[in-house]
Structure 1
């Protein structure tokens, strides 16, 4: 008969396992495990098997092991995990893509009834319609101020009712009514709270960012840097093109207003002296692009007209000449 390990031996084994995982993995998902049962957790372990390992444990043990391992390896990045070990949490060590792993974890949610005293994670709305309950059950609806009517010997809810608001505790009447209606309003599973990646800690919302989102945020940042640089007249790489253009506009304005000139300003001065050149330039530009089609059409018409003139001349001769 195998001898059961003592508590001290279990702690030593747990500490060794956690330290081994910290050395082997550089990516960790910190997940909340409230209302997650053992069977559900086992299903999650099976689903992540291959490139991820789920490790649960007491926060005091995990903090102690992380702190001692950080001192032993002189890797202070591990200390960033300690503030995250609050509440009923677990660690998912992974070598896979963080976004894919978090999505896989989110799949394993199980519906649960509304138990008395439980804090509602979402709003619970009872939809209108026939409940299938007999008229003797109307007392539940009256206590909760739910408008009903009797239809074909059963109780029918007239309008949708917000029974429980998010953050409120479930009362005995609400729990009993939802149980009678067969409504399981809540679903529970591991919820990713934070992400640890090579010493950096960030929110799981970052995993949902796409390349387009990053480009948009980068463009917004460049615009802000450009605006600030132009406002304080401080040259930066982002503001340099605008500064050169603005400087050119200023020099050109001086050249137009005075007798001073330079090669780039000559053409502008010519246009100002003779505005008709604007029309000529526009016409020439149109001829280069869309003007080719009308010219070709005109040539086609000329070609079509030439045979017509020849046929008119032939009509003056007799077939017997």
Structure 2
């Protein structure tokens, strides 16, 4: 998104107040309709870009992320016996620091410290492809650098200033065809 755009995230009640909940409170005509749509984890994008640019940008915006509890594992992760290695993004794996060993054990990894290096005495399966991750598995995968999820922002509605109207993203996509 261009530098002239801004994303605001906060409590939905606060965002509703900023937009205006009644017609006389609205910052701009029709903004109250957006406030009524705010549920769950939401944010507001303010931009002067045309809807086509915004929709295309968000369609293309995907970032690797760490899986959380309840996500499905996208691969089987089996750690070999020996020093515990951490995957570095865009780098070679590195040996886990000794200070990390208690945290690894707390997450269920059967490690011991050998020469100040967290070490596995036998191979250990952290997760299997297609299985739901529990809290410890998700924590281990994050600690060890395994990204098995994607961060993506899903557009739901657009308010267009010229029309003072809120449109669903499906209506916008239909107009762009």
TM-score (normalizing by structure 2):
0.55
Unaligned runs of 5+ residues in structure 2 are: 82-120
1:195 counterpart residue number: 158
2:107 counterpart residue number: none
1:63 corresponds to 2:16: yes
In structure 2, relative to structure 1, the CA distance for the partners of 1:179 and 1:76 (3 Å cut) is closer
Quote the offset at 1:68 in angstroms. Answer: 6.2
Question: What is the CA–CA distance in structure 2 between the aligned matches of 1:173 and 1:65, rounded to whole Å?
Answer: 39
Unaligned runs of 5+ residues in structure 1 are: 1-46, 147-160, 165-169, 214-321
TM-score (normalizing by structure 1):
0.34
Q: Which has the larger share of strand?
A: 2
**Which of residues 143, 156, 163 in structure 1 aligns to 2:131?**
163
- Please tell me whether Structure 1 or Structure 2 has the larger radius of gyration of its CA atoms: 1
Q: Which has the larger share of helix?
A: 1
Quote the offset at 1:112 in angstroms. Answer: 2.1
The count of residues paired between Structure 1 and Structure 2 equals 136
Between 1 and 2, higher relative CO (CA 8 Å, sep ≥ 6) is seen in 2
In structure 2, relative to structure 1, the CA distance for the partners of 1:61 and 1:73 (3 Å cut) is closer
**SS state of the match for residue 124, structure 1?**
coil
1:205 corresponds to 2:170: yes
For the aligned residue pairs, the C-alpha RMSD in angstroms reads 3.7
Quote the offset at 1:171 in angstroms. Answer: 0.2
Question: What is the CA–CA distance in structure 2 between the aligned matches of 1:73 and 1:173, rounded to whole Å?
Answer: 46
